[in-house]
Amino acid sequence: MKTTTGSTASAIDADVRVIGLIMNGVTGRMGYRQHLVRSILAIRDAGGLVAADGTRFTVRPLLVGRSLDAVAGVARRHGIEDYTDDLDAALTDPRWEIYADFVATKARPTTLRKAIAAGKAVYTEKPTAATAAEALDLARLAAAAGVRSGVVHDKLYLPGLLKLRRLIDDGFFGRVLSVRGEFGYWVFPGDDQPAQRPSWNYRAEDGGGIVTDMYPHWNYVLENLFGPVRSVYTHAVTHVPRRWDEDGAEYRATAEDAAYGIFELDGGVVAEINSSWAVRVHRDELVEFQVDGTRGSAVVGLFGGKVQAAGATPRPVWNPDMPDTHDYRADWRDIDGAAGNAFRAQWEDFLRSHVDGTPYPFDLLDGARGVRLAEAALVSSREGRRIRLDELKLG
């Protein structure tokens, strides 16, 4: 086994509990930037967290990857003593309490099963599996083993959506009528200038496609803010069928690069979300949601947000023969509020739940619902019909 592990006990106060954390996939973009650097190392460098009983705890990461040289490079860069290319050995070591997974989707079910069988708490990126059946099976395995599970729900922790959550809780909207979302940007095909996303994103056989990538996000955003998704209709298309990969070789895009979806939620709320890697941005942020209710409306992005109350709503008059000189944007006011890194905030919640022994809401069953929505959306697009979604249960 090629591995090295050290001890950081000398740098940590004796009365601080150390949580051993296996991190698999930290050489990838998301695993490295958001989960390792901006979350776990930021928590560690800040001195850890405080549990419900007032005691302090911190995290000690063990980096895992297929290439020992690659994970060693990351470890040296950040002063991390523990790294290995032997996941199986790491999972048998009782020093490591939690397994975190940021590997490719196709490999994720295998590694999660190993971690659950080893009795580790698990925290994973989404989608949790390539199929809804496999995602539900993982949730059942974790429940049967009695292990805590968490799935990344980063969008819920973003400043813009936290502002939206506050408006909902305060009753600002009255009865919510509809949600309209616009997400996406132009991803260059890779011929005249490099693409901003990896080529596998556009190959269905490699797990690519914007539905698989984004619909799990839309599921937890809609579910946690407005209510469970009860039906979906989606039209998914490949607007740009020819692209060029990282080596400049032309390939055929077999996965969709845009999806136009309509979602019916509990309580009669209708959501319409367009997702596209073939659209040019004409909005304030790369994703924006407009929520309309009987007493007011809001438009929020990842960070910003604006509201228009019923009393400030103008009375437009439709007249195609005269230019409309009203400044509609001036009728909206900014929403105050700020927040830190969304990935770190969710990690802090999960770690506190692990230490305190409290229920964690965004678990593998929640992740399975996101995979099911993506799967149903692709069926909807192929068959040209609305797909109803019943409640997903472990039993």
Please report which helix (H) or strand (E) contains residue 15, including its range. none
**Quick one: average pLDDT of 260-289?**
97
- pLDDT score for 339: 83
What distance lies between CA 67 and its chain's CA centroid? Answer: 26
Does position 2 have pLDDT exceeding 70, yes or no? Answer: no
Backbone angles phi, psi at 158, to 5 degrees: -75, 150
**Nearest by Cα to 232 from 204, 258, 205, 259:** 259
In this structure, are residues 161 and 141 in contact, taking their beta carbons and an 8 Å threshold? no
Per-residue confidence (pLDDT) for residue 178, from 0 to 100:
98
pLDDT tens for 104-119 read 888 999 999 999 999 9
Q: Give the pair of three-digit tokens for residue 343.
A: 């990935």
Position of tokens 């490099």?
A: 194
User: CA-CA distance, 71 to 76, in Å (whole number)?
Assistant: 9
Q: Tell me, what's the pLDDT at 9?
A: 40
Q: Which fold has domain 156-339+370-388?
A: Dihydrodipicolinate Reductase; domain 2 (3.30.360)
Q: What is the dihedral of CA 33, 39, 41, 43, to 10 degrees?
A: 170
What was the pLDDT predicted at 312?
A: 94
Give the mean model confidence (pLDDT) for residues 152-178.
Answer: 97
Please report the pLDDT score of residue 85 as a whole number: 96
Tokens describing residue 192? 């005249």
- Please give the average per-residue pLDDT across 361-381, as a whole number: 97
**pLDDT computed for residue 270 by the predictor:** 98
Nearest Cα to Cα of residue 90 among 2, 170, 214, 176: 2
Mean pLDDT confidence for 359-385: 97
Which residues on neighbouring strands pair with residue 259, listed in sequence order?
236, 275
Note the pLDDT tens digit of each residue in 177-217. Answer: 999 999 999 999 999 999 999 999 999 999 899 999 999 99
Are the beta carbons of 300 and 335 closer than 8 angstroms?
Answer: yes
Query: Which tens digits make up the pLDDT trace of 30-59?
Result: 999 999 999 999 999 999 999 999 999 999
pLDDT at residue 8, as a whole number:
43
DSSP 341-390: -HHHHHHHHHHHHHHHT---SS-HHHHHHHHHHHHHHHHHHHHTS-EE-P
- Lowest model confidence (mean pLDDT) among 18-22, 43-47, 291-295, 334-338: 334-338
Q: Are 90 and 96 in contact (CB under 8 A)?
A: yes
Given a cut of 80, whether residue 4 has pLDDT beyond it is no
pLDDT digits (tens, 9 = 90+) for 68-126: 999 999 999 999 999 999 999 999 999 999 999 999 888 999 999 999 999 999 999 99
pLDDT of residue 1: 39
CATH class of 3-154+345-363: alpha beta
Are 26 and 12 contacting, i.e. CB atoms less than 8 angstroms apart? no
Helix residue ranges, H only, 265-363: 342-356
Please write the tens of the pLDDT for every residue from 224-250: 999 999 999 999 999 999 999 999 999
Note the pLDDT tens digit of each residue in 311-357: 999 999 999 999 999 999 999 999 998 888 999 999 999 999 999 99
Domain ranges in the chain are: 3-154+345-363, 156-339+370-388
DSSP string for 202-262: G-GGGT--HHHHHHHHHHHHHHHHT--EEEEEEEEE-S--EEE-TTS-EEE--S-SEEEEE
What does the block give as tokens for 81? 């003593």
Q: What is the pLDDT of residue 15?
A: 86
Beta carbons within 10 angstroms of residue 339's beta carbon = 14
- Confidence class of residue 395 from pLDDT cuts 50, 70 and 90? confident
